[in-house]
A = this chain, B = another copy of it.
């Protein structure tokens, strides 16, 4: 059997590794457009900030190790330009030699990942404008930051906020442009993000959007904004979200699902029986909505890749599904979320979903070092079912607390059941009644009749 894999990051390499482990006699060949495989791109803001000195530390496994230890053939700088499902082959171009060839497969894994959304007027290209799509991009941005004093960051989601912090730590002053900070979170946590950004090195005016880019007469860039005068900066970074890189799949006639991602079942099979898809190019199965969703995150990509590999190897395994659990740090603030937010829940078939917000100490008030944790719980008052949760606070306060809610969501618990979890208590760690437990307890009494939101 010959297995081809398109894309050498988390999903592709997980699939390739599983197949070689289960079927050591099979040929597994990975085509990767870039210079590296298996990169921890999530770590790149900490390289840009200077916290991590050597970018090679963000390479989990080198191509040489994949080849030697796992017997996977890695073809770097090879771009797949077409898939021919009818004859089970693909066309691949060597980006160095420029030559194309056709390769047959018995099974194909699409792990082409995501691409950065390019806002109108800010398309990639001009000098001084950066996207962060590879470790090579991170290296270039770090170098540019060392010679710069100011930056404009476009997009106030995860990446935009992490890059803002990274550039401030690298010594730059940053103008952050975006409609709202941390838009995937509930208002209460967005407000915390806005407060975390209120520091002398950061200018953030919510509502302002970047709409164009020009070279400034006096050097550097001018970012045109939706209102008022353009923003001058030595460099600009765009972090405006991701979309699935699914053009190849679409051209090959594969069915697409949510937000244009490759449609897959829980065994990661596409609409073509010989083609699997996994990671940021594919849909995920959302455990709360019970539907396909587009959630390009690292853990899910790893797991989907592994599931694709196991199924190709002949095992029947389902991906565990996702909750969109995520966590981020921006300066002293940590934000984390899992499951559905209030609006998403109402759209996903829970029209009566309500939100409960509590503000509680992370440790008993008599013990030093505690901090306030804001915990938001979204649930369905008809069934009591927990639908989602979010946390905001210090890195220490938010930490692993979100995973308690992720576990409760995975089990399909009601808020009352979650409120009954026997959580750990000792003064250096948590109060007797943990903020997460209190939030679920109060939610269990919140029928939403008072207007949809109840606070404590």
Q: Which of A77-85, A229-237, A275-283, A320-328 binds B?
A: A320-328
Task: Answer whether residue A225 sits at the interface, using C-beta atoms and an 8 A cutoff.
Answer: no
Q: In the assembly, how many copies of this chain are there?
A: 2
Task: Answer whether residue A173 sits at the interface, using C-beta atoms and an 8 A cutoff.
Answer: no
Q: How far is the CA of A248 from the CA of B432 in the complex (A)?
A: 28
Task: Answer whether residue A51 sits at the interface, using C-beta atoms and an 8 A cutoff.
Answer: yes
Given contact pairs A302-B433, A327-B429, A367-B46, A411 touches B422 in the complex (Cβ within 8 A): no
Task: Answer whether residue A187 sits at the interface, using C-beta atoms and an 8 A cutoff.
Answer: no
Contact between chains at A430 and B366 (CB < 8 Å)? no
Q: How far is the CA of A421 from the CA of B420 in the complex (A)?
A: 19
- Min distance, Cβ A442 to any Cβ of chain B, angstroms: 14
Contact between chains at A425 and B367 (CB < 8 Å)? no
Number of A residues with CB within 8 Å of any CB on chain B: 66
* Contact for A425 among B287, B297, B418, CB less than 8 A: B297
* Contact for A401 among B400, B418, B433, CB less than 8 A: B400
Task: Answer whether residue A253 sits at the interface, using C-beta atoms and an 8 A cutoff.
Answer: no
> Nearest CB to that of A43 among chain B residues?
B427
Contact between chains at A329 and B43 (CB < 8 Å)? no
Given contact pairs A300-B422, A422-B299, A403 touches B406 in the complex (Cβ within 8 A): no
Task: Answer whether residue A399 sits at the interface, using C-beta atoms and an 8 A cutoff.
Answer: yes
Chain B residues within an 8 Å CB radius of A406: 404, 421-424
Contact between chains at A427 and B46 (CB < 8 Å)? yes
Contact between chains at A422 and B42 (CB < 8 Å)? no
Contact between chains at A326 and B424 (CB < 8 Å)? yes
Q: How far is the CA of A334 from the CA of B336 in the complex (A)?
A: 24
Given contact pairs A43-B367, A408-B411, A411-B413, A399 touches B429 in the complex (Cβ within 8 A): yes
Task: Answer whether residue A396 sits at the interface, using C-beta atoms and an 8 A cutoff.
Answer: yes
Q: How far is the CA of A326 from the CA of B424 in the complex (A)?
A: 5
Chain B residues within an 8 Å CB radius of A430: 327, 400
Interface residues in A308-367 by Cβ distance below 8 A to B read: 320-329, 334, 336, 338, 364-367
Q: How far is the CA of A336 from the CA of B367 in the complex (A)?
A: 19
Chain B residues within an 8 Å CB radius of A322: 422
For A302, A322, A407, the residue with the greatest tally of chain B CB atoms inside 10 Å of its CB is: A407
Task: Answer whether residue A298 sits at the interface, using C-beta atoms and an 8 A cutoff.
Answer: yes
Q: How far is the CA of A425 from the CA of B338 in the complex (A)?
A: 11
Contact between chains at B407 and A411 (CB < 8 Å)? yes
Q: How far is the CA of A57 from the CA of B426 in the complex (A)?
A: 16
Contact between chains at A420 and B321 (CB < 8 Å)? yes
For A297, A328, A364, the residue with the greatest tally of chain B CB atoms inside 10 Å of its CB is: A364
Other A-B contacts than A302-B433, A323-B422, 11 sampled, CB-CB below 8 A, are: A40-B427, A43-B364, A46-B428, A299-B423, A325-B425, A326-B426, A400-B401, A404-B407, A406-B421, A407-B407, A411-B411
